[in-house]
Structures are given as structure tokens and as C-alpha cells.
Structure 1
Amino acid sequence: MEKPSKVDQIHSLCEALFGERHRNYLSVASSFLDISRPNFHDSKTEFLQELTAVEAIISHCDGIFSLLVGQGQDAPETHKLMIDRLVPAINQHVMQSIAFKEISTPNDLAVKNVVETGFHYSSLLVVLHMMEAYRRRLKELKQQEVDFWNVTHRPPKYYARTVALRFARLFAQERRVKPTIGTVSDGSHPSTDYGRALEEVFNILEINANVRTAGEWAIRQLEESDWNPPLNALSGGLFGMGTTKNSTGPTISPVVEALSKA
């Protein structure tokens, strides 16, 4: 019988810890743990190029929200009136652009769904998720800057640290508690759920590193928001601005409510 892949073994381990998670053909939300190796750069020039680009992308996305959302309920009345005029106009232009377009690819269908659910606000939700992804990447790059580019040598077992941190964040998110790690009194094996599971993850991935050392480092990197996440910033409307009576498409509130419970 063929041995399950490392991905399948990790998936089974996480299901035993956190409950079943159904796979789908897009693999969205099907993989519990990212086991890929960090994207190491061949030179500091390459690293700084990506760091600068990611910071700029986040800044430009913030600019989009500043212009299209303003300060939410605290935005000047003139800004709100401008948005009231702009939203239906933009939605109508996009509706016209795809009205007779043949749906022949998954991307065509995705765009059609965004348009039909209210292009303006649905697009802002997509941008919001993109910003979150880039902010996570920025955190990784900042950590790599400390680990690789501000020291004279690479620290050992970086992959072990990376996996331990990803798993610590997953554990905190799923259990809603800060993970802990320790060893049993009569040996070197871990004594906590996180520690025992991390040891098994290391075995599956063939990571030759001290589980407790990597686990303790990972736990120190966690923030309270990892196990006690704040309410979705969109709660109550997209930064306080829902659709208006002149807007096309459904109100954003049900979407926001669903996201906040995800």
C-alpha cells in the first residue's frame, strides 16, 4: 500500500486535533498547514526589491480605501455624497462591459459573480483580503530581514522555526488559546498538545531539529490577536459605509457578518 503523502499526513494530524476540514477542487481552506519552505533570496538586492514592492502595494491599497471609503461614519458629508454618486455609476459601467460577454473560463465566472453581487463593494472586499495577504508577507519579510540580512550568518534550523511558527498560529487560531510547550518529567518528549503535535509534524516533514527549542521560539512570536482575534474591521458595514438607496447590488452587511464569523 502506498504511503500517504506528507501533505495528507499533516492533514490527517490536523483533523485529529482540530476537526474535519473538507477539501475542494480549488484547495481553498483545505490545507491546514503551509509546509512550503520560505522564499529565500539569492541576494540582499533581491530581498530589498521585494520588500519595497510589498510595502508600496500595501500603501497603494490603503490609498484606495482612503479615497473610496474615507473615514467611514466620520467621513465628511461631501465625501459620502460623492461615493453615493460614484458607486451606481461604476457598477453600471461594469455591468455594461460584461453584459454580452461569453462566460468561457473560471475567471470570467468569478468576475461575473463579483459584478452581480455589487461590483464596488465586492471589489473592496477582494482588495481587503489582498491587503491582509500582503501584510502577512510583509511580516515574513521583516522576520527574514532580522534573521538573514542584518546578521553575518544564517541561523540554523530556519525551516524548523518557520514550520513551528505557522503551526503555533494555526493551533492558536483553531483552539483559541495560546499554545504551550514543555517536556515530560521522565524524558525529552513534549508534554503538551502543541508540543506533541509539533513533534509529529517534524517527524512527517523529516525536520531534524529540537522540537522544544523551535516551539518555544514560535510561541514567543505570537500576539494576542493570534488566539483572540478582534472583530472583523468591516463589522457594521464597510468601515461604517453601507450601500445607499441609489446603489446597485445587495447591502454589504450580510457579507461582513459572514466574514466576521469565519
Structure 2
Amino acid sequence: MNCRDQVVLVTGAASGIGFAVASAYAREGARVAMVDLRREAVTEAAQRIFDQDLVYPVQADVRLVEEIERALDGVGSRFGTPTILVNAAGLYPSDPVLEMSEVAWDRVLDTNLKGPFFTSQSFARRLIRQNVKGNIVNITSGAAKRARPGAAHYSASKAGLAMLTQALAIELAPFGIRVNAVSPGFVEVHSAVNQLSTRYVEAIRRTIPLGRAGAPEDIAHAVLFLTGPGSDWITGTVFRVDGGSAAGTTALPLSRVDQEEGGDNDPQAL
């Protein structure tokens, strides 16, 4: 796709999926605002983009509406009004239900759900005032439909984000703003913010039908498709990119009882 006339804003852009998405748009010629809570990290990430003229690192906390507004104002002054928003900022924590604090719950819900809502709201208001069409892509998760230990707040936030995607799509469609989500399966990233145990990573890899963890670039490709001309009649969808994980698992053996094991299917056992 040709993005040379596009201004893109990506949250959570200092690392992982957010960085891969920002890099992909820059390679396509878009001007990209890279937003992240960590000032030094996002500045260093922007320096890794091949064309420095195409990127603008912005420090902002998406949990705070005033910082979202400031970030969008700054991007508008630097590049012009963004027409593509990718809400990739998110936390991937592990807090058992019986140990979870109010602070931990609020931190995840504010980052993963409140942040995308108010960033999308501010983004959409600007486009509507200028009578400009645009695209929003939310990064949700397979955890929206499948819980795991330690992720009550995470799963709830991603389930909420999937429904928020549909709600935004319905209300913003009359203004020519399409809203979709990409739902990754397990994507292997190296992040100081969202660290994972080796035991967890090895266990989840065994459940993926295509036999490997996803890469951030796998998600970036899907995001570009959902904001390109080939998806012009798609809105309100949650697009699974998960190596087949939603279809089932290859980590279980066949359920039948083989003859050498005996049992009900063994004629000698009758």
C-alpha cells in the first residue's frame, strides 16, 4: 500500500507490536507519530527507523485524557492531522485473582481499555471537524475469549476492547471512519514492561497449530491491510492473527484408545 499521504499515530510504539506497526508504516512512506509512556525508550525506538524525517517520538500516558490531547495537538503541528490510529499500548500482567490489588486492576483497565477509548474519541473528533475519513485499529487479544490464570484484569480489558471496537465502528461509520481490531495469538516480544517466564512461553508454543510463536511483524501486516484500500468495506471486525490457535490445539493426543493399551476399543477386553 502507498502511505505517502498518510499521517499515522501508534501508541505503545517503543517496542513489540507497536514498534513493528510504526516501522511498517514508515517503510510504506507514512509519517508516523510514535507515542509511548517511556520517553527514552520511544526516542531510541524512533532512531531505529530508517528515515528519521518520517517519525516523531512523543511521550504521553494514554491513561490521562489531557496527555492524549497534548500528543494529538503536537502531532497535528508536526505532521498534520492523523488519519490512521493504532491503539497498541497495553499491559500483559500476571496477578492471581486472590492477590490482585485495586492499583493493579486499575492500571491494566486504564491502559488497555480507557486509553484506547479516549484516544479514539479525540482522534475521531478531529477528523469529523475537518470532514476527513480515517481508520482506527485496536490491538486486542485471544485472551478476550479465553481466560488464563493471572489474567482476570487483562482478559476483561481485551474483551471490553473487542466490544468497544464494534461500538465505535457503528457510531463512527456515518463519518467515514472505519474501526477494526487485530486479535493476536501468542506473539513473542522482548519487553522490559511485559516479561514472561520461560515455562509459560514453552507451554504456550506447544498449543499453536502452525508450530511457532507469532512475530510482531505478523501483526503489523494485518494492521496495514485493515487500513488499506483492500479493506474498504470492512469495519467492526476482530481479525484473528494467531497461527490457528482459535481453531483449536495440537497439544493433545488422539482421544481413541489404541489396541495395545487395552480398554473398551480392544476386542480382547470384551
Q: Which structure is larger by alpha-carbon Rg, 1 or 2?
A: 1
* Structure 1 or 2: more strand by fraction: 2
TM-score, length of structure 2 as denominator length: 0.20
Higher normalized contact order (CA 8 Å, seq sep 6+, divided by chain length): 1
* Structure 1 or 2: more helix by fraction: 1
TM-score, length of structure 1 as denominator length: 0.21
